[in-house]
Structure 1
């Protein structure tokens, strides 16, 4: 072998040996001196938080900041939630599905309508979970026309109700209800008339007048027939009230009914008719403002009417929300409901958000209500449809502007802050009011805790949510609403 080849082979062998030694040495070093392991940073999050602000910069927006329970003491005010102190069971949150609501929602194209109904009544992460609906028996003032389910020519009567039919709502409210029930078959429905058929009234007018005493019995059968025919349509009516706003004769349609008249109607006609027909539908009295709590108390004080009555329903266009507790404390075995409150076209988002959360959602629930309903679900850009003489300023939770577009209004967020997180069967639990931090708390059927807080003050407030000996610190801007949930 030539010398130059020998030298080359030696060089290669030497380099290989050096490389093997270096590799071995590095391997031994790695085993003997491993690099330090840096643990991942874990951000503790015990509480989820959804926020709506009066300036609309947050609209039921889930917040990304971590909220973890701890034991570090601070000087912020506490909202203490006590799950061991339980109050009433919740039936649900929602709106009135008026004829006008059905008309405008049914005008949406099929794709947009299907998506909207899933958003409103579904149970997915993007739905708001409406669980309670109010409907009218015949036309309300937010139908496009006035009608009842037994309209006949002036001067005639229909004592056997042979002319009774649901035609006025077949293609509107009833058709839409069937689509809603396909999404949520457990949704509860309360129904109420704005007026009796004109031939049963003391005045032949849709506006005002009273139920003629000689037609009390046939009017009770009218309710029975309505419930039975709705059942034939696949729609179960959970409850009725005998009359919407019985002390308001100025709407179109409307009908007056005093407390004594309603007590007599319930005990002598409506209650016995339901019993004879073996109906499970509840009878809820009053359905009007908080300024006359003596109205439902008069009916509940009637020993013959009382057994037929499930409870009392309220609105808050007058009076104070504490009237619900007034009636509950007098008759604690009877249920309380909150069935209507409108937002106006002349109102403001921030003002309505504050007032309605404080009174309708938080206020009604803290005063024993089993539900909380805003008024109209949807309208068009002109705040219609409505009857001639019906509400022309009532603003729906939704405004449908075309076949392909709708906007969410303040009433949408008012209800969604509860309906999305507090399903039917939840129970209100104890929480304290601290300063301007209006709030109400619940435990859901799955065991989750829910706290709804509205900052009713004029400045940002930092505060603690205290639960089970620990607390988490958060804050809300003036007029803002937060829904907090934890396991």
Structure 2
């Protein structure tokens, strides 16, 4: 925040205090009904105390992965219980405290769109809820559109996905995560894309026992004074460099092997992200406002020419040349002036 005060913070609890749980264990169990109100006060206190430290909590999810009690820590919270907690305890507690922090429900895989839909179908709960959040360890990304269609007045968020490099990979290929997450989530109404682990050591530590993730590589690997950027870093950087906060998704047609998504930035520029999922190099036309251009996929040019008002970037400008030939995703910025800053 000292470097970029515009960063928005999302809080996501993995477990209530153990004395509030039916198992008295960090792993699994359910929230005791008699503890609902006390737990709502914990949320309020957390937000207020963070504010005292200069940290504004923009939003909270009610529970991380509420249908996965095997993680450590974790909590099983079925949809009716989450709806009850929001409408009778958490929502009123936020309202009484005058908090503007958004409440986001679900925060789990796309294979259970019925979970957030059922909560949003409850008018008492819905009035306190900003939207629902998703992961993609199960289900299809198109389920986000199903939830949007059921409640178009509520926001959709993509809040987690582990992205790691294949063992033995000789380069960084960001096509997969760009297609599945950056393009897939935003084409299905998500307002954001969050991945998973930000930083870890060379052994992917630290992680918890009894359900922690020993394979969850960080976006960066920190080895003493050395920092290595990994596939999760580049897949997010590939979009975030050009799709700035406040951008709005605009329409673009769908092609079989050229997954894509387009945005209009706050300063009026248009950004197109394309992932070539085919086995061959592909040429395509960009038609915009009656004019047509044909970008060229430049495999051997890892650093784009930012002086060109219409440029293509392969990954991030920090990519080393030996990685560039394994990338098959591009971003095109179409405007009178677009410098990539």
TM-score by length of 1: 0.61
Instruction: Find the partner of 2:108 among 276, 288, 300.
Output: 288
Counterpart for residue 130 of structure 2: 310
Deviation at 1:186, TM superposition (A): 1.3
Q: Deviations over 1:87-123 (max 9, x none)?
A: xxxxxxxxxxxxxxxxxxxxxxxxxxxxxxxxxxxxx
**Residue 240 of structure 1 is aligned with which of 60, 70, 88?**
60
Alignment partner of 1:277 out of 70, 91, 97: 97
Residue equivalent to 1:481: 329
Pick the aligned partner of 1:452 from 259, 265, 273: 273
Relative to 1, partners in 2 of residues 1:326 and 1:284: Cα closer, same or farther, differing over 3 Å? same
The CA distance in 1 between the partners of 2:71 and 2:165, in whole Å, is 18
> Does residue 369 in structure 1 map to residue 217 in structure 2?
no
Q: Which has the higher helix share?
A: 1
Matched, 1:210 2:30: yes
Q: Is residue 173–residue 328 contact of structure 2 (8 Å, CA) maintained in 1? A: no
Partner of 2:119: 299
Call closer, same or farther: CA 1:408–1:351 in 2, change over 3 Å. closer
Q: 2:83 aligns with which of 263, 272, 282?
A: 263
Contact persistence 2:165–2:231 (CA under 8 A):
no
- Aligned pair in 2 of structure 1 residues 486, 245: CA closer, same or farther (>3 Å)? same
Q: Deviations over 1:4-28 (max 9, x none)?
A: xxxxxxxxxxxxxxxxxxxxxxxxx
Q: List gaps (5 residues or longer) in structure 2.
A: 300-325, 336-341
Q: Whole-Å Cα distance in 1 between the matches of residues 231 and 9 of structure 2?
A: 23
Match of 1:401 among 216, 223, 226: 223
Can you give the 5+ residue segments of structure 1 that lack an aligned partner in the other structure?
Answer: 1-180
Whether the 8 Å contact between 1:345 and 1:394 is mirrored in structure 2 is no
| 1:200-233 deviation line (CA, Å, top 9, x unaligned) | 0000111111111110000000000000000000
Indicate the RMSD between aligned Cα atoms, in angstroms: 1.5
Is 1:359 aligned to 2:207, yes or no?
no
Larger radius of gyration: 1
State the match for 1:387 in structure 2: 208
Cα distance in 2 between the residues matched to 1:430 and 1:285: 28
Q: Deviations over 1:340-373 (max 9, x none)?
A: 0002365558786222111110000000000001
Q: Any idea what SS the aligned residue of 1:271 has?
A: helix
**Is residue 454–residue 479 contact of structure 1 (8 Å, CA) maintained in 2?**
no
Provide the rounded CA distance (Å) in 2 between the counterparts of 1:475 and 1:410. Answer: 23
For the 8 Å contact 1:328–1:334, the answer to whether it is kept is yes
Residues of 2 paired with 1:475 and 1:342: CA distance?
A: 31
2: CA distance between counterparts of 1:443 and 1:467? Answer: 12
